[in-house]
Amino acid sequence: QVQLVESGGGLVQPGGSLRLSCVASGGLTLDRYSMSWFRRASGPEREGVACISSSDGSTSYVDSVKGRFTISRDLAKNTAYLQMDSLKPEDTAVYYCATVGAACMDLNRRYTWGYWGQGTQVNVSS
């Protein structure tokens, strides 16, 4: 069965960095599936953060993280990453990796379907 497993969350001071990882398994390969990162700060809604496409590895970001976050992938390891630099307290959230297929997810859309990981907690605080 398809499984997405995130890791790398933790507590970091403002201005610090973290790198999140998302390992895909169960037949889901990143050369056929795009991978996105979403986050949930509070309440039920998840906010889109970044996406990397399956076809050519092109990337997209929401405005609030542009220039600070970088999404990447390692096809040999079937793993996606989210490098987060210059972290701010408002980045505190549970971060999820997710995919709905080959095309990148719309980062401004709310999804109730697709494959999702269990989430990893990121806390930015002094």
The pLDDT of 58-77, averaged and rounded, is 97
Strand 69-74 and strand 59-61: pairing? unpaired
pLDDT (0 to 100) of residue 90: 96
Say whether pLDDT at 44 is over 90.
no
Distances (CA, A) of 125 to 70, 83, 87: 21, 18, 9
Share of the chain above pLDDT 90, in %: 90
pLDDT of residue 112: 87
Q: Is the pLDDT of residue 4 over 90?
A: yes
Sole residue written with tokens 């987060």: 84
pLDDT confidence of residue 123: 98
Strand partners, 23: 5, 79
What's the CA gap between 106 and 85, in Å, rounded?
Answer: 23
Whether 48 has a pLDDT exceeding 90, the answer reads: yes
pLDDT above 70 coverage of the chain, percent: 100
Count the alpha carbons within 13 Å of 34 in the hemisphere toward its beta carbon.
21
What pLDDT shows up at residue 43? Answer: 81
